[in-house]
Amino acid sequence: MFAEDDIERRRVEREAADRDYNDALTALDAAVPRLPGLPRPAPAYDESQLPGLNERWRLMTADPTAGLRGWRRRLALAIWRLVGPLFDRQQSFNAALVDHLNRNVAAHRADRAAIESALDALRGELEKLEAFHTKLVLYLQTITRYVDTKDRSEFIATLANLTNAGLSGVADEFRRRWESMVAREQRYVAAVDEVRTSLASVQQTGLMLKRELERGLAGAVRTPAAQDAGPAGGSVPPPAALSSATTDAVNAYKYVGFENKFRGSEAEIRARLLQYVDVFEGATEVLDLGCGRGEFLSLLQERAIGARGLDINHEMVEACRARGLDATEGDALAYLGSLPDASLGGLIAVQVVEHFQPAYLVRFLDTAYHKLRPGSKLVLETLNPSCWFAFFEAYLRDITHAWPLHPETLKFLVVASGFQRVDVRLLSPYPVDARLQPVQLPSEALTVGMVSLAQTFNENVEKLNAVMYSYLDYAVVGERL
Amino acid sequence: MGKGNCHANPRKRWRVCYRWNAMRIAWFSPLPPSRSGIAAYSAELLPRLEAHEIEAFVDDGEAHDGAGSTADIGRVTVRSAHDFPWRHARRPYDAVVYHVGNDRCHDYMWPYLVRYPGLVVLHDAQLHQARAQGLIRQHREADFKAEFRYCHPDVSPLLADLVIAGLGGTLCYFWPMVRIPVESARMVAVHNAYLARELSEEFPGKRIRPIHLGVPDPLASAMAPGGDVRRRHGIPDGAVVFGSFGRVTPEKGLSAVVQALAQVAAALPSIRLLIVGEVPSYFDLMAEARQWGVADRVIETGYVDDAALPEYLSAVDVSLNLRWPTGRETSAAWVRCLAAGKPTIITDLVHLTDVPSLDLRSMTVACTAGGAQEPVCVHVELVDGAHMLRLALRRLTEDAELRERLGRAARRYWEAQGTVDVMARDYEAVLAEARTAADPIPPAPWPAHLTADGSSTARALLAEIGVPYPLDQPGFDAGSATRPGRCGAPPAPRPIAGDA
């Protein structure tokens, strides 16, 4: 592994060497010798006068008195003796000059030929030198490419491919194993959750058996008078007692007034309940617990799903009956207890279970499990007390609410009662624009400090929104298998 | 008690407003005729959202029929993405939706999704390859390195050089490079719950919502009988046909299927493998089939258009929907097979563990959703793939009753979780949330090229002739010319250097 500064040093050195090399090559290229303008050979020796000179150099004949006789001859001889030497010297000079000229012709010719030959030889050599220099530059230019391609030779490419294949192979194998391991882990975690739930159910059953056993043993020794007085302290009160406790809390007509004030319009209620109709598609004998004015019963009737309602409030039941719906007035647990096992095709209770005491709720769920047929669905919708707004503004508003039920708590109780495929559906999200709003920084305020501050603030807003203004309701949906 | 009587009124008022509050939406997504799966997805979804005013923005090269045209996707107007900034400046959109995936057809969205935060629908949780290729193709290696460093500050930046050198391979899957689109988004939607949880853990405080992936009902129109397809391709009567749909790629594991087929073929004379989709030249599956001696059992149809697909779907008895490696995407092709009531064989992937699937080794149902579940498909583990594939081929060929049962359960599963209506409902919810969500503040400064104003070339050209850049002149109010005045006040619509 190379250190960063080492790599940087290598890069700088490499770039410097590259630069030097290119500079040297440029200088060499600039120094390529250009072919000089060589002098032409001197003009050829002028021989044009030589024939004439060779003809005219002789001034006199061999005997100037030839052909003369007598005194003429003698006179001529006398005169010749006077001028003859002069002519003789002139002729000798002429002869020597012409001879000189004649003999230098060959030398001149040879000189010129030699000069021409020398210039040709020089030009040839200079051309060769230029070509050599050019080839030298070209050769040096090829070195860069040669060195580069040598680094990228097929061996290196093959090695790179092998490295790539190796890295990818190892990575892929690792990821395959990791993927399978995590998939298995997910299933193990889910399985452990199921085992834990089943264990809780077994524990609960054990406790109930123990309690029933203790009650049976106590009953065996109790006097008839004591039996008349009701169950032992701390045990689950009978349904009638619970129901009366609820209804006695407020006069029925006052509660009707309360509901009329705070329940929505019928259209709103129907729209809200529409989501549950699909859950009971194809079912028969669905029980709507807390059927109110019968909005959901009407929806089921429209889809030809057989259903009946149960409500503890006489006015509500009458309202249903007036619309031709099948509704009964009564307590939930008492009514369920009166039904044969596996006689219901579905059970829904919307905004009901928060009115139950915990012990009553547990018995209600156990009973519901036995009264539902295998394959039938259970839907329990209630307020979501984990949303603070829902708890403080809605849950506390109604004095007949007995116990707030956290989604996880209700899910656990439903699972512990034997239901499967239990799911929590979060409903009625609090209006987004009514939640706490995060800040948005104008672009001119985007300093590091402000960004950090705004980020922290917005994260806190998110956290507060998550607990205060999340989902107002939820429904636990389960199936009796 | 009962039926909504427990609440005070503000919430009810909101419900009424919510239903009638249509939005003006900018929709960045490839669209047909692009063959991208997300193009088909958008085309199927958009008509269901027509209560809103939606304008789709596509890559300039794909803006079919010219700008402002209306494609066959309801009332949606299709425009070039280049038109988005000025249209947004003139009349701001309530929400901007970006469909982001690991394919080059999404490259054009990047300059916008950082500048105009919106709802990012992350179809793949792995964007490394597409983003790297997109930037390197433009010779923007330095930008790629900067984004890699930003997305994965804890790993050596030299890994980016490894990718630039072409040595990334499947290593890329370790570093998915999703930080920028996630952090730049007002909120993020993904198509499976596991991925939503995973991203929420990685980006605490971000709004990340799972939404269902829906496909239309292939049985809605009379499904053509598959008999013609079988006759056309010489498939004998009584054959049990395993089908693979879509372009043939190594990710679909068909080489392993051919090998497994070769090992069970002798005992299962009726088994056939029908490959429905384009076969690229670099992947000669038939050569592999010949090498394994099962060429007579493998049929390649080549590219089949969408209209003919139901007929081919009808012709198969079992669908092979293997995928590896994966970007945690949910396969629309697989959901389509479920909708058609076909038993399917899937790869056992972490993000699909909440789907009830059958482990043929123990004949038990594997599902993290809890409770006893009816299996809707058969899974094949990655580490025991060859063995489980052989088991699946053998069992599903011989056990018609099991095929029937899985097919019925698959259809029910689709009805509950995979219809376009279910998906549209989810979209309504996330769009409403995205509309009012605040623009994000990046926790660290973006890589410089993501916030550059794109003027470097203009500045250099003007500097050469000695002219100052006009926007630098005192008194020039760039904001008044370009800044949109929308809710949430997004930054000025200036393109990113080199990207726009």
The number of CA neighbours under 13 Å toward the Cβ of A157 is 6
Nearest residue to B270 via CA among B396, B404, B402, B391: B396
Is a pLDDT exceeding 90 seen at residue B267? Answer: yes
CB environment A419-453: b (16+ within 10 A), e (fewer): bbbbebbeebbbbbeebeebebbeeeeeeeeebee
Q: Do A190 and B373 touch (CB under 8 A)?
A: no
When pLDDT is averaged across residues A141-167 and rounded to a whole number, the result is 79
pLDDT digits (tens, 9 = 90+) for A108-131: 889 889 999 999 999 899 999 989
Structure confidence at residue B11 (pLDDT): 41
Nearest residue to A50 via CA among A12, A104, A120, A4: A104
Structure confidence at residue B61 (pLDDT): 63
**A282, β-bridge pairs:** none
Q: Which of A160, A428, A455 sits opposite B167 (nearest CB)?
A: A160
Structure confidence at residue A418 (pLDDT): 84
Burial of B358 (0-12, 13-18, 19+ CB in 10 A): buried
Can you state the angle between helices B10-20 and A266-277, rounded to 10 degrees?
Answer: 70
Q: Do A182 and B371 touch (CB under 8 A)?
A: no
Between A422 and A231, where is the model more confident? A422
Is a pLDDT exceeding 90 seen at residue A214? Answer: no
Is a pLDDT exceeding 80 seen at residue B12? Answer: no
Lowest mean pLDDT among A227-231, A415-419, A440-444, B112-116: A227-231
Six-digit token string for A27: 């200088």
pLDDT digits (tens, 9 = 90+) for B51-98: 899 999 999 765 544 444 444 677 899 999 999 999 999 999 999 999
Considering only CB atoms, which chain A residues are within 8 Å of B204?
459
The mean pLDDT value of chain B amounts to 86
Q: Which of B204, B371, B432 sits opposite A432 (nearest CB)?
A: B432
pLDDT over 70, % of chain B: 86
Considering only CB atoms, which chain A residues are within 8 Å of B5?
258-259, 262-263, 292, 351, 398
Report residue B490's pLDDT band, with 50, 70 and 90 as the boundaries.
very low
Backbone phi and psi for residue B446, each to the nearest 5 degrees, phi listed first: -60, 155
pLDDT digits (tens, 9 = 90+) for B25-34: 999 999 988 8
Report residue A257's pLDDT band, with 50, 70 and 90 as the boundaries.
low
Q: Say which residues have a Cβ less than 8 Å from residue B84's Cβ, sequence separation at least 6.
A: B26, B28, B57, B112, B116, B493
Q: Which of residues 389-408 of A touch B (CB under 8 A)?
A: 393-395, 397-398, 400-401
The answer to whether B227 faces chain A, any CB pair under 8 Å, is no
Between A225 and B177, where is the model more confident? B177
Q: Which of B370, B381, B432 sits opposite A421 (nearest CB)?
A: B370
When pLDDT is averaged across residues B219-223 and rounded to a whole number, the result is 70
Residues in chain A: 481
Q: How close, in Å, is residue A189 to chain B by CA atoms?
A: 8
The mean pLDDT value of chain A amounts to 84
CB A438, CB B207: distance < 8 Å: no
The answer to whether B7 faces chain A, any CB pair under 8 Å, is yes
Q: Where are the beta strands (DSSP E) in B258-380?
A: 271-276, 298-302, 318-321, 344-347, 357-359, 364-366, 377-380
Report residue A200's pLDDT band, with 50, 70 and 90 as the boundaries.
low
Q: Which of residues 321-380 of A touch B (CB under 8 A)?
A: 349-352, 354-355
pLDDT over 90, % of chain B: 64
- The CA-atom distances, in angstroms, between A37 and each of A33, A34, A122, A351, B415 are 12, 10, 11, 113, 97
Q: Which of B3, B436, B443 sits opposite A350 (nearest CB)?
A: B3
- SS3 string of B167-234? CCHHHHHHCCCCHHHHHHCCEEEECCHHHHHHHHHHCCCCCEEECCCCECCCCCCCCCCCHHHHHHCC
Backbone phi and psi for residue A322, each to the nearest 5 degrees, phi listed first: -60, -25
Burial of B195 (0-12, 13-18, 19+ CB in 10 A): buried
Considering only CB atoms, which chain A residues are within 8 Å of B325?
172, 175
Report residue B491's pLDDT band, with 50, 70 and 90 as the boundaries.
very low
The answer to whether B458 faces chain A, any CB pair under 8 Å, is no
Q: Do A269 and B3 touch (CB under 8 A)?
A: yes
Between B416 and A256, where is the model more confident? B416
Is a pLDDT exceeding 90 seen at residue A161? Answer: no
Top mean-pLDDT range of A444-448, B6-10, B286-290, B483-487: B286-290
- DSSP secondary structure letter of residue B388: H
Backbone phi and psi for residue B54, each to the nearest 5 degrees, phi listed first: -115, 135
Q: Do B383 and A180 touch (CB under 8 A)?
A: yes
When pLDDT is averaged across residues B243-272 and rounded to a whole number, the result is 94
**B215, β-bridge pairs:** B419
State the greatest distance between any 2 C-alpha atoms of chain A, in Å, as a whole number: 220
Q: How far apart are CA B480 and CA B57, in angstroms?
A: 25
When pLDDT is averaged across residues B297-323 and rounded to a whole number, the result is 92
pLDDT digits (tens, 9 = 90+) for B154-178: 998 888 998 998 887 888 999 999 9
When pLDDT is averaged across residues A224-245 and rounded to a whole number, the result is 41
Considering only CB atoms, which chain A residues are within 8 Å of B4?
263-264, 268-269, 272, 350-351
Burial of B451 (0-12, 13-18, 19+ CB in 10 A): middle
Q: Do B171 and A442 touch (CB under 8 A)?
A: no
Considering only CB atoms, which chain B residues are within 8 Å of A292?
1-3, 5
Six-digit token string for A404: 């707030």
Q: Strand order in B318-321's β-sheet?
A: B298-302, B271-276, B240-245, B318-321, B344-347, B377-380, B357-359, B364-366
Considering only CB atoms, which chain A residues are within 8 Å of B2?
289-292, 311, 316, 349-352
Helix segments in A33-69, DSSP class H? 50-56
Is a pLDDT exceeding 90 seen at residue B200? Answer: yes
Structure confidence at residue B21 (pLDDT): 64
Lowest mean pLDDT among A195-209, A341-355, B317-331, B394-408: A195-209
Q: How far apart are CA A242 and CA A386, in angstroms?
A: 26
Q: Where are the beta strands (DSSP E) in B69-141?
A: 69-70, 77-80, 95-100, 119-122
The answer to whether B3 faces chain A, any CB pair under 8 Å, is yes
Structure confidence at residue A229 (pLDDT): 42
Q: Do A350 and B350 touch (CB under 8 A)?
A: no
When pLDDT is averaged across residues A321-336 and rounded to a whole number, the result is 93
Is a pLDDT exceeding 70 seen at residue B480? Answer: no
Q: How close, in Å, is residue B15 to chain A by CA atoms?
A: 8
